């Protein structure tokens, strides 16, 4: 191998921070994780991480950590699985072997804070070959509730695959493509599982849950039922399978840092038929486990394949 190729390949597999100022900092405080380079031995704590699973709810990420520990036969019956971010209530973080589970709250700004600090954490910990997967919930469009959607592209409220960010008062536009081979591998995994319907499609990412997603049941609504249906039908025709609130910035930031990324969300309802989450607690709980089951199975398969190669 040409030495230049080796360098490129090595630099590709690490987690890129694109910030020349970081090197000059003596200490880096990851404030919203309550972690830092001076106070914590990040390479020792996180150096072996290969998969990061993220989701809005701290309870769901705790439960995913317990699920993956059992799947990988790494559960410790005596352990309570400590929350690594116990010093703060902004995010929750759990770890089992090479799998890190982190909550990100609701909406683009919340997950962006988490991702900035997660990317720095993976960089400081000198992690390599990291895959990040969001396991979330969403509203479906024209799909049976409970269907799992693997995102092809994250699109905005005008159905365009872009994420706009304001830096120093100026708008910067980012691409929101996700890793297509990872999406295909996840779809294949779901076919093998054969437990629930899974599709690959576009995901609309909005900044608001009510009017931003054409709901009729918010505190305010300035449009008619027909306006709503027209908009959602237009989205459907543009290839939008589901709507959630975090995929755009996850796609953009993971692309910028060279992380393989996927978004796997279950649809809790069909938005063409309603707005309220009126299914029973048990049904919604069952749906919410589907992305966990799929991603758990994928991680297990990947780790087995790697163990077989080594």
Question: Residue 108, interface with its own copies (CB under 8 A)?
Answer: yes
Q: How far is the CB of 115 from its own copies (least distance, A)?
A: 7
Q: How far is the CB of 133 from its own copies (least distance, A)?
A: 18
Q: Which of 161, 231, 258, 272 binds its own copies (CB under 8 A)?
A: 231
86 binds its own copies (CB under 8 A): no
Distances (CA, A) of 54 to 16, 86, 133, 222: 19, 17, 6, 34
Residues with Cβ within 8 Å of residue 95, at least 6 apart in sequence: 45, 46, 49, 65, 84, 101
Compute the least distance from the CB of residue 91 to its own copies, in Å.
9
Token pair of 122, please? Answer: 């993976």
Reduced to 3 states (helix: H, G, I; strand: E, B; else coil), residue 251 is helix
Q: Considering only residues 151-210, where is the footprint of its own copies by CB under 8 A?
A: 156-159, 165-169, 172, 206-210
Check binding of 31 to its own copies (CB under 8 A): yes
Distance, CA of 225 to CA of 213 (rounded, Å): 13
Buried b / exposed e along 203-226 (16+ C-beta atoms within 10 A): bbbbeeeeeebbbeeeeebeeeee
- Which of 45, 72, 113, 199 is the binder for its own copies (CB under 8 A)? 113
Among 6, 10, 12, 22, binds its own copies (CB under 8 A): 22
Encoding tokens for residue 38?
């001076």
Closest CA to 178 of 212, 143, 134: 134
23 binds its own copies (CB under 8 A): no
Residues that bind its own copies (CB under 8 A): 17-22, 25, 27-29, 31-32, 56-59, 89-90, 105-110, 112-113, 115-117, 119-120, 123, 156-159, 165-169, 172, 206-212, 214, 216-223, 225, 227-228, 231, 234, 245, 253, 256-257, 276-278
């Amino acid at each position: 191998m040409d030495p230049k190729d080796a360098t490129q390949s090595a630099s590709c597999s690490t987690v890129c921070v694109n910030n020349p100022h970081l090197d000059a900092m003596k200490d880096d405080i990851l404030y919203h994780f309550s972690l830092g380079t001076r106070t914590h031995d990040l390479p020792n704590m996180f150096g072996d991480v290969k998969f990061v699973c993220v989701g809005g709810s701290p309870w769901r990420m705790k439960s995913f950590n317990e699920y993956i520990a059992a799947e990988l036969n790494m559960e410790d019956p005596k352990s309570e699985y400590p929350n690594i971010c116990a010093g703060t209530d902004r995010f929750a973080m759990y770890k089992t072997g090479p799998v890190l589970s982190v909550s990100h709250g609701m909406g683009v700004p919340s997950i962006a804070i988490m991702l900035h600090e997660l990317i720095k954490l993976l960089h400081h910990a000198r992690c390599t070959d990291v895959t990040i997967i969001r396991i979330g919930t969403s509203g479906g469009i024209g799909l049976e509730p409970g269907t799992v959607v693997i995102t092809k592209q994250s699109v905005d409220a005008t159905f365009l695959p872009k994420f706009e960010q304001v830096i120093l008062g100026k708008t910067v536009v980012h691409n929101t493509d996700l890793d297509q081979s990872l999406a295909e591998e996840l779809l294949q995994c779901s076919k093998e599982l054969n437990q629930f319907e899974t599709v690959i499609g576009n995901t609309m990412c909005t900044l608001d849950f009510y009017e931003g997603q054409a709901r009729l049941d918010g505190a305010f609504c300035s449009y008619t039922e027909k306006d709503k249906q027209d908009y959602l039908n237009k989205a459907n025709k543009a290839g939008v399978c589901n709507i959630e609130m975090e995929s755009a910035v996850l796609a953009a930031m993971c692309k910028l840092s060279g992380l393989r990324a996927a978004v796997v969300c279950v649809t809790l309802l069909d938005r063409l038929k309603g707005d309220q989450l009126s299914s029973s607690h048990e049904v919604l709980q069952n749906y919410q486990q589907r992305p966990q089951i799929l991603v758990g199975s994928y991680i297990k398969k990947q780790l087995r394949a790697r163990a077989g190669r080594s």
